[in-house]
Amino acid sequence: MPSKKPTKKKTVKKKKKSYLASINVLGKDYKAEGETVSEAIENLEVRNAKGKAILTVSHEKDSKMKILTHVMVSRLFSLGRTPRIMALKNISMMFDI
């Protein structure tokens, strides 16, 4: 009895829906992607977090823009863990895309 060779199943990789976050701080643009809103904002690497900022989060065709105050920006990109987590939670709740 001849044995059958195992056939490989074709796997279809689904493209994960990603969020794109971009922030404009003092005329410089920073962009990052993530699977969730908070992850996309957390992936932003802002070097100079002084002053007001414009944060834009887009998902597929939807896009929202928010103006962040100096205090929110400094908390979001601070070195302390607790203020950063609190600011990230508050800002990500603004973007219910």
Render each residue's pLDDT in the chain as its tens digit; 97 residues.
667 767 776 665 555 669 999 999 989 999 999 999 999 999 999 988 889 999 999 998 899 999 999 999 999 988 888 999 999 999 988 887 6
CA–CA separation, 42 and 47 (whole Å): 13
CA–CA separation, 27 and 2 (whole Å): 71
Strand partners of residue 21: 32, 57
21 contacts 40 by C-beta, under 8 angstroms: yes
